[in-house]
Structure 1
């Protein structure tokens, strides 16, 4: 779906990939309904868009609030007259710790944001998009959604659920005007740890790693959306591990486990 003159909802628009996607979408001529839990950072995104002459509305919303999510399509349509697409970037990670040491409150929170939030948004917007001449749903999963990362097992499980939900939806929407894309970012330089309320110690080789910028991730996501891609891999690490995991899942998992051992809280 070409973005120019389309109305696109972007979640997580207050920071990180979501903010970069929202700003890149307005640069490409879309009208953006920017959604985030944090009113202050959301306003900052809108100010940046306005300074560049972009068309953006702001919608403070908790994606785990099903009633609020269900009311969002109507609110966006009231502001812009229609809704053509959803790009769901909002998500959180877990504390970097083993499953045995993770409390259920944390587990429930990760699944509430990453899984339930995705489900609520998809269910809310799908009927609306099916009525449009063309519509598009983009859900951001994670490299951790197809490759196990020790210390992020629950996060990975929630993103694996997003992966299969989105791929299943793609199949269900065949023959309709709605396109569906799933995105798998690798390492991206965002403040997701702060937004998730967790503290993850830096790996010893972090300075030597090539981390994708949010702006590059946003361009790749929107390029994929505009070519109706089935899946989009963000970063050389995601592309490499995708190939390796398909060739030898056990070896790929072992390589990641070896690299992550010094980050695990003991």
Structure 2
């Protein structure tokens, strides 16, 4: 689905990849309903875009709140007149600790935002997409959704659920006007750690990760291109592409390799 003249919902539009997706979609002549939990960051995104409410409208929403998620499509349609797609980008990571040490409340929070938030909005908008000439659902999983990262196991489980949800939706909707794409980003230079309520990474670790991470504008460019090409699956970053191949060839070796890398990263945090 081409972005031009479409109304596209972007979650997490106040920062990181979500902000870059919004800015690039607006440049492609799409109109964007930006969703974020913080009004101030949505305002910043609109200022950076330099557009009025007719092109970008921010909606403050906790995507894990099903009642408010169910009400969102009517709010978007009331403002823009229609809706053609959604990029379910918003997400949080967990504390960098093992499942045995992770509080059940933290587990619920990660699952509620990453999986149920994506599910709630997908179900809320899907009936409206089905009556459009063409529509698109893009769900952002993670390379953690196909290969395990110790210390991020629950995050990975949530993103694996997003992966299977999206692939199942593709199978169910392939004979309709609704296209579906699942995206697996690798390391991206964003402030997801801070946005997840985990504070700022230590300076040394943050610098090292920044060197390895793909810039958010490039990640957004790849995601939009995948949507406009109606791709089934998109890898974002060389690390995601490499690990995808490695995990397919030798899952145990790949898992052990990631385990060693995570130990080094946690030690440096």
Question: What is the TM-score when the length of structure 1 is the normalising length?
Answer: 0.95
Tell me if structure 1 keeps the 8 A contact 2:8–2:83.
yes
The alpha-carbon distance between structure 1 residues 131 and 207, as it changes in their structure 2 partners (threshold 3 A), is: closer
Query: What is the CA–CA distance in structure 2 between the aligned matches of 1:10 and 1:204, rounded to whole Å?
Result: 26
SS state of the match for residue 189, structure 2?
coil
Tell me if structure 2 keeps the 8 A contact 1:26–1:54.
no
Q: Name the residue aligned to 1:255.
A: 257
Deviation string, structure 1 residues 196-217 (Cα, Å, up to 9, x no partner): 0114556498268431011000
Query: What is the CA–CA distance in structure 2 between the aligned matches of 1:45 and 1:215, rounded to whole Å?
Result: 14
Q: Name the residue aligned to 1:95.
A: 95
Tell me if structure 1 keeps the 8 A contact 2:189–2:210.
no
Query: What is the CA–CA distance in structure 2 between the aligned matches of 1:28 and 1:237, rounded to whole Å?
Result: 28
The answer to whether 1:68 aligns with 2:68 is yes
Structure 2: stretches of 5+ with no match in the other structure: none
The answer to whether 1:216 aligns with 2:179 is no
Q: Name the residue aligned to 1:160.
A: 160
Query: What is the CA–CA distance in structure 1 between the aligned matches of 2:154 and 2:139, rounded to whole Å?
Result: 18
- 1:174 deviates by 1.2
Tell me if structure 2 keeps the 8 A contact 1:203–1:262.
no
Tell me if structure 2 keeps the 8 A contact 1:93–1:193.
yes
Q: Name the residue aligned to 2:107.
A: 107
The answer to whether 1:169 aligns with 2:169 is yes
Deviation string, structure 1 residues 63-104 (Cα, Å, up to 9, x no partner): 011111111111111111100000011000001011111011
RMSD: 1.9
Q: Name the residue aligned to 1:243.
A: 245
Q: Name the residue aligned to 2:137.
A: 137
Tell me if structure 2 keeps the 8 A contact 1:150–1:260.
yes
Q: Name the residue aligned to 1:49.
A: 49
- 1:262 deviates by 3.0
- 1:264 deviates by 3.9
Aligned length: 266
Q: Name the residue aligned to 1:125.
A: 125
Query: What is the CA–CA distance in structure 2 between the aligned matches of 1:207 and 1:153, rounded to whole Å?
Result: 19
Query: What is the CA–CA distance in structure 1 between the aligned matches of 2:55 and 2:125, rounded to whole Å?
Result: 21
Deviation string, structure 1 residues 137-192 (Cα, Å, up to 9, x no partner): 00001000001001000000000000000000000001100000001000000000
Query: What is the CA–CA distance in structure 1 between the aligned matches of 2:54 and 2:151, rounded to whole Å?
Result: 40
Tell me if structure 2 keeps the 8 A contact 1:144–1:160.
yes
After alignment, is 86-95 or 206-215 more displaced? 206-215
- 1:53 deviates by 10
